A and B are shown apart, each in its own frame.
Chain A
Amino acid sequence: MANERIFAGVDVGSSRTKTVLMDASKQVIGHDVRHSGTVFSQTAEDGLKVALDMAKRPRSAIAKTVSTGYGRHNVTFSNATKTEIACHAKGSYYFFPKEIAIIDIGGQDNKIIKLDPLGGRRGFKMNRKCAAGTGAFLEEMSLRLNIPLEEMDAHAAQSEDMVKLGSYCTVFSGTEVLENIRNGEPVAAIIKGLFFSVIKRVLEMDSLSDNVVMTGGVVAHNPHLAEMAAEIIGKPVLVPKLPQFTGAIGAALYAMDTH
């Protein structure tokens, strides 16, 4: 087994860099996530080392690496690149091999990708040049509320009430949040309102098919978002294992396919 060839997928996102190692049976045997920082090539190197340690494999076992994400061209050990659209589609279809609509909420962009029953892409939409509805929006709001980002989900999940936020823009939403604080609204209800706003922004990007999959770091760390999305669209929302790694998994699968 130690000599078995493995495949690497590296997703250098605007916020986090995700690394996945897969064996030939398509099992994830190592993974890592870290801040992308400012030197993408070094971040990718560091992530790969940790993933290899977890997998207990030498670097020489890697047969092929595919990189994706904004920093895909900065991964020095990559053999090929694919866009994050392709990799999220590939990774999601691996978990849910049927006609699906994928909602990926990333640090600075959102995507809706539609796949046919065979996994072929029917189309995709990315958010406009605006941070509303992305992870960056929630990060900004966590600073405004002085609530750590990792605690936002618990607040939203426990709240029975929800403040309605109407603005289209992150800055205006911030002003609305301040107005609600001034009016004495509970913080948990404001956070739930922020989550609702994220979902609404994403859902207006495109229509959805019957099977909806949600991926990305924002959903990974805020599972209540997927629950709220299911409630809003009126149907169950599928979330793959390791949702933050879906793009990296797709990249590793491309590495395997094209080796």
Chain B
Amino acid sequence: MTEAKQPKRKVIKTAAAMGKYMADYYYELDNAAKTGERKIAWCTSVGPAEILRTMGFVVYFPETHAAMLGSTRMSTDLIPHATALGYSPEVCSYMTADIGAYLQKQTPLTKTFKGIEGIPKPDVLVYNTNQCRDVQDWFGFYAREFNAPILGISGNVTVNASTDAIVTGVALQMQDLIAPLEEISGNAFDMDKLKEVVGLSRQCSDTWKQVLEAASATPSPLTFFDGCTLMGPAVVGRGTPEAVKLYKQLLAELEERVAQKDGAIENERFRLYWDGMPVWGRLSAHSKLFASLDTNVLASTYCSSWIFSALDAEDPFNSMAKAYTDLFIVRSEDYKEAYIKEKLEMYQVDGIIYHDAKTCPNNSNCRYGMSNRIQEKTGIPSLVIDGDLNDLRCVSDEQTKTNVEAFIEQLEESK
């Protein structure tokens, strides 16, 4: 009988420090929830976290919690509880898994971090619809449940260029958050503090960008699957000096590996780009699958979503508005196509995998013919995998495996 090859993947040493940072972060939140010493704000992952941090809130990100529900494979059993409440199984499975978990009083935090009994109750919920409308509905559910105030920014979508009119509109919405947040937090807004936080956020973003770009080396010291877990502090800790320090440490490790030509997988023969969300419940399985085929999925649009190069400490509101509008997910199809083509060249990839996530149209970029267009223009072959970020009922492991193996066979034949 033919045996599948056992892949060898390299361990990233800084991951342990990242894990400790995430643990400390959740214990800080839990302490705030239990003691009431600090106010808690819930925030969307690409929402105005810098403002909330400036106002003294401890910031909780439900999307990170939802990703944990996915990666621990709890989500698929929890989604039906939200469906029974009227949330379609075809809307964001981050949201439905998270609401299902709340309804069932379950959280992966309890299993992962001893002593944490549940998610922290919000004093305020602040969203930004720049990524999708679902976050507003998601936060709206909890606002009703906890009888907590909800504030938000209505971001733009399908933006070709972040014009002054767009940036000014978003910046004004951000400024409008200040007065209610002062009231909820009991703290006065401090412009100097915001400048400091935005500056740290920019540093975090710049270093994270350098980390991701280290994958352009051959062989690449990093995989997309590593990136999905290593990005934790960039999501929950941007605006803090600790996150900056961690990414500098990670960057140093990767630069050393690049110098030593120490690849993330042994014998890197093929380099792929991943577009779309990860399948959180199959992160490890997919990492092993590609490694067993001597293939490194080394870059993605997803992990780059926490790069905010427009942030400028000297002009915090306008620069935050621009940074949160410049994001890939907010942009027009033409922009996205040009962006991906640039990345294909930068990372010298042999092929592209598009993950068509059933419940996340906003992160599935193959739905308007882009995969065909880019393939025709660049000659770089592509493969579309049907799946989902959190709902494993939408995932066929066998079909994914056959598709990926056949794609690599195709690349082998054309080399």
Instruction: Point out the residues of chain A lying under 8 angstroms from B398, CB to CB.
Output: 70
Q: A72-B2, A120-B414, A128-B386 are in contact. Are A109 and B399 (CB under 8 A)?
A: yes
Q: Are A126 and B402 in contact (CB under 8 A)?
A: yes
Return chain A residues, CB-CB under 8 Å to B413.
120-121
Contact with A along B376-401 (1 / 0, CB 8 A): 00000110101000000011101100
In the complex, which residues of chain B have a beta carbon less than 8 angstroms from the beta carbon of A76? 1
Binding stretch for chain A, among B74-82, B215-223, B255-263, B403-411:
B403-411
Q: B409 touching A83 by the CB < 8 A rule?
A: yes
Q: Is the Cβ of A81 less than 8 Å from the Cβ of B2?
A: yes
Instruction: Verify A123–B410 contact, CB threshold 8 A.
Output: yes
In angstroms, Cα B395 to Cα A179, docked, is 32
Does B2 lie within 8 Å of A78, measured CB to CB?
yes
Q: Are A85 and B406 in contact (CB under 8 A)?
A: yes
Q: Is A74 interfacial (CB-CB < 8 Å)?
A: yes
Contacting residue for A85 out of B2, B3, B402, CB 8 A: B402
For the residues of A in contact with B, the DSSP-based class is mixed
Interface assignment of B375: CB less than 8 Å from any CB of chain A: yes
* A78, A81, A82, A83, most chain B CB atoms within 10 A: A83
User: For the complex, is B4 an interface residue (Cβ under 8 Å from A)?
Assistant: yes
- Interface positions of A from 48 to 87, Cβ below 8 Å from B: 67, 70, 72-76, 78-86
Report the minimum CB–CB distance from B144 to chain A (whole Å): 34
Closest-by-CB residue of A relative to B3 is A73
Q: Chain A contacts of B410 at CB under 8 A?
A: 85-86, 121, 123-124
With an 8 A cutoff between CB atoms, is A41 at the interface? yes
Closest to B393 in A: A129
Considering the chains assembled together, what is the distance between the CA atoms of A84 and B403 in angstroms? 10
- For A109, A120, A126, the residue with the greatest tally of chain B CB atoms inside 10 Å of its CB is A126
Q: List 12 A-B contacts (CB under 8 A).
A: A70-B398, A72-B2, A75-B2, A78-B2, A84-B402, A86-B410, A123-B381, A123-B410, A125-B384, A126-B402, A129-B386, A129-B399
- Ordered nearest first, which 5 A-B pairs have the shortest CB separation? A85-B406, A83-B406, A121-B410, A129-B396, A76-B1
Q: Which residues of A contact B (CB under 8 A)?
A: 41, 67, 70, 72-76, 78-86, 109, 120-121, 123-126, 128-129
